[in-house]
Structure 1
């Protein structure tokens, strides 16, 4: 009786119940009304949902990201990249994208990337004459790289849900993540030209020479080395993604001690913030195990696959339908719970059409991540509003050109996987 699952989920969502309770509640309602299974299966599935070694990578990557942000590398990266790109049109806007790309390779989450870069960059861009809503829209769009460039928490969740290699997913996310940055940069250029923006010259205190330039270059290399360490270690078979997360934390601690910017007070703040974010993710992950059990019992994934096959036998048409569904789901939901909900339903159908699970994972994460910045309910938009004080109406208008450009990129990657999958050969 799949109708009980669908009705229970929609009913709880309409009541405004917290998402973790919606997920576990839907499974619980189905178990009580449609199966002879005892309620002890709920407790068992909650434990099984978290009993996975791979999931240890999530709290470790979160902690590493917070540690690197607390060290204060954002300002140092901005100073160097601003100087290096001083002769490029709209240089500071492009600096914001590059810094987001670097921090995307550290934080693994779009919201963390947006907060870390936005707090520093938005006032800087406004001082240089950029419109405030344009600055916020640029950084919001660029922050989406944080969910795609390795280490990516959404890829970890998808890998656990689909039993797909997280290492392969990380490798597959490199080129799409970089292309997000390139797309935002091109959009920046076009929009600024239309606005007639004039790039200001550097102030004397922003010019780097001699010792200052060497110090800034060193600081940038320190920040850049973390994603290189993570990806290089995984590609080289030196360590697993979970072990890479532990290495990232160790590296971030060393950087904090070397810079002497990590004291006891800051360390406690980082630990508290990491625990809160990790707990939010893990509660949803544990709850998903109950829902997944109910989905398997109801045969809803098989029914969806059979329905799709009855509608069309074209892989292209299926991918188009799946992409539309993912974009719609990604608007009200964050990528992590959305992946947990849609993967067990859509992945069996994708496999029936011969779609590679890694490619479907890339499409899923790209589409759901795009929803983070899609008006009017994208979660990243609310983060951007809180740090910039730009109203939702103005921000929605400013971010739409970036959403359209990134949607075109998502469609391209969906139907031309050769753009990135040569890395997996």
Structure 2
């Protein structure tokens, strides 16, 4: 029977899934079938899949996440058609200081990963819930965890260590970095598209609802903007990015916000949404820049701050690299928002970045002008394929 690999990417309110043909060599980058359930826990969750427009579904309000996963597994099994599900690969955001390589999951590994929930509270619990359900209901089905932190294991110690007392490092408080599956795909795709140029001093901008930058040399991570948690670095859709810790002390000591309230503010009420008051998405906020009064001013300021933080961090990473030869945008905002790319590149002219307006508007693979000293590109990411590839490797092939 033809073996298939199921990839699950579980977030707080959505589950993305993709099914790959593991019998094909090399593993195809396009899945046989993919889709997502979104709005889990909300009033109108919906289900979308390849070739089918999203439609509203009903989930058990007592256990909506379990119900969504059950629905996906039912749809997967209905599509097997004589083929077998050989392994399930999970995107797991945090592997802590122990797990860097893709790892087959058992009860012991699951217990370890559960201890890292405080490090990634928006994502870790939901991936682990799916893993736990499958371990209990289908114990014979292999599962592999693929870690977003793993790609950054190549960073030098000076980039990992935090300026805290030494025993904090010994306890595992360090800069881990995230979006590793996306950056792992970029390391493959950029080498294919740009050849030897990709092995030089490169920065990849993963700009989505979560956002980070990764500085690469020889296609390995040498520095990144996210650190101990997925709150660090760039301003994001609803997350603050880097923030003076004194501001947190003030919120808790003077304004008397509880730990829970501060956490909710940092993860859900800040970033583009918090500053603009309109949306967490740049494509929506830009439509309000011309508004009169405070709404327009807040929209303009939100986008200006968003771009400023990206430019500032690119400049810092270019300094770490000792120069810059390749800049690549990826993920939802990076791939689809030409106006964000234009504003970022305009402010990077001092590095020799020059944009071609026509190429940028067309989201071309290379959007820099012919005379630009820095190659600027747009590259779709493919985290699911990386997870499927790594899961197959862990099992030594699934044929």
State TM-score, norm by structure 2.
0.25
Higher RCO, Cα 8 Å, sep 6+: 1
Could you say which structure has the higher helix fraction? 1
Q: TM-score, normalised by structure 1?
A: 0.24
